[in-house]
Amino acid sequence: MHAAVYDHPGEPGVFRFIPVADPQPGRDDVLIAVEAISIEGGDLINRRLVAPPADNHIVGYAAAGTIIAVGADVTDRKVGDRVTSFDMSGSHATKRAVPASRTWHVPDKVDMTAAAALPISFGTAHHCLFARGGLVAGETVLIHAAAGGVGLAAVQLADRAGAKVIAVVSASERQERLRALGADHVIDRKQQDVAEEVMRITGGSGAELVVDPVGSTLNQSLSMLAPEGRLVFVGNAGGGDLAANLWPAMQANQSLLGVFMGPLLERPVVHATVDDMLADVANGDLQVVIERVFPLAQAADAHAFAETGKPLGRVIMTP
């Protein structure tokens, strides 16, 4: 098979597109002929900062395709099944071996590009909003980085749950698209003071729930949180230390809740929510927003665009 590999962390130019040995599925694995790869935030961080465990390392969390082999102990997947998958590495390749428990069947009406992007973005958004954030109808939720994959998913899911949705973005031209997906208010953080706008919108009370995948905005998020509100922080896209002044949060009886989806997606309840949302995409009830598709051979260009191009939604690669 071919894969985008690298030997040391760094800028996107560290990638080389070369032939490598096919992965061998274990007893609990399936082997997938990859058709679409979703570039996730963790892929960018790992490539940029984390030393690979071996030469010719294949990075990547998310890929969708067709099963071409199954392990001896796999009973609920078969050759020919269309699946999307999650694992901690190995997506940036034309074939992928992954535990069957980390795959989901893809409905016939769902395109593979959408299927590749859905488990992490929508699975994360759903967990942040409901399992951790406890969002209920009528509450106000503030979503940072709302133009990203998790943000766009969170906007749709929160709107569908009957919440009032405030979306924060970094470009005003994205506002109409976000409103169409369910945002009640859109704040351009480059043109407006986010905290002032949130307090104006909420009449000074703040948001009951804040979803923050940025990290560097934690103190700002706390300042916009209602008394007894919940802040769910998921990732550190802004870089730097995850530092926050917690004294005001304690006085306001606020809750801080961390989410890291890596060990959670295999849990039966979480796994089932992804199945449900794939069905919702098939029925037209949810949209997976794809900004651009690159060939896998151009992984360096794809990563560079994902990092600096300010995409609306996910960047996808195809073999």
pLDDT at residue 77, rounded to an integer = 98
pLDDT digits (tens, 9 = 90+) for 307-316: 999 899 999 9
Would you tell me how many other CB atoms lie within 10 Å of the CB of residue 67?
22
CA distance linking residue 17 with residue 116, whole number of Å:
21
Indicate the average pLDDT of the chain: 95
The answer to whether residues 17 and 299 touch, using CB atoms and an 8 Å cutoff, is yes
Tell how strand 103-105 and strand 57-58 pair up: unpaired
Q: Is 314 helix (H, G, I), strand (E, B) or coil?
A: strand
Look up residue 11 and give its two tokens.
């800028």
Q: Please choose, from the candidates 253, 198, 209, 268, the residue with its C-alpha nearest in 3D space to the C-alpha of residue 234.
A: 209
CA distance linking residue 226 with residue 252, whole number of Å:
8
140 pLDDT band (50/70/90 cuts)?
very high
Look up residue 209 and give its two tokens.
């729930």
**In this predicted model, which residue has the larger pLDDT, 238 or 319?**
319
**In this predicted model, which residue has the larger pLDDT, 85 or 237?**
85
What is residue 72's DSSP assignment? T
Helix (H) or strand (E) holding 26: none
Averaged pLDDT, 238-262: 88
Averaged pLDDT, 51-57: 96
Averaged pLDDT, 209-217: 92
pLDDT at residue 236, rounded to an integer = 78
238 pLDDT band (50/70/90 cuts)?
low
CA distance linking residue 133 with residue 126, whole number of Å:
9
Averaged pLDDT, 56-78: 98
User: For the chain, what percent of residues have pLDDT higher than 70?
Assistant: 99
| ∠ CA 6-11-14, rounded to 5° | 25
pLDDT at residue 284, rounded to an integer = 97
pLDDT at residue 17, rounded to an integer = 98
- The least confident of 25-34, 105-114, 217-226, 235-244 is 235-244
- The least confident of 9-23, 102-116, 165-179, 274-288 is 165-179
Q: Strand (E) positions, the chain?
A: 2-6, 16-19, 29-39, 57-58, 62-70, 82-86, 95-99, 103-105, 140-143, 164-169, 185-188, 207-212, 225-233, 255-258, 290-295, 314-318
Q: For residue 208, is pLDDT > 70?
A: yes
Write phi, then psi, for 225 (nearest 5 degrees).
Answer: -90, 135
CA distance linking residue 3 with residue 16, whole number of Å:
8
Would you tell me how many other CB atoms lie within 10 Å of the CB of residue 290?
20
Q: For residue 82, is pLDDT > 80?
A: yes
Distance set, CA 243 to CA 118, 195, 221 (Å): 30, 18, 12
